[in-house]
Amino acid sequence: MGGITDSIPLEKSIEDGNMYNVVVLTRNKGYIKEPQTLGLYSRHYLKKYPKVLDAIEKGILNIILL
């Protein structure tokens, strides 16, 4: 797992029996990702996937559509 479904899959790691997990943060403390704006083509393409579209707009998911 990982990626879109769970960017830091700690629960899966614990289920797999790992007792210790290390998460390396690459942003400064307090960093907040700005919402991403999408063009008409991207909105049209993603209308079948409203949860993905919502995640992109809220800045939870960063994606580049060509």
Whole-number pLDDT of residue 55: 77
Query: CB atoms < 10 A from the CB of 45, how many?
Result: 13
- The model's pLDDT over 46-61, given as tens digits with 9 standing for 90+, comes to 888 888 877 777 766 6
pTM of the model: 0.41
Q: Which residues are CB-contacts of 57 (< 8 A; sequence separation ≥ 6)?
A: 35, 36, 37, 38
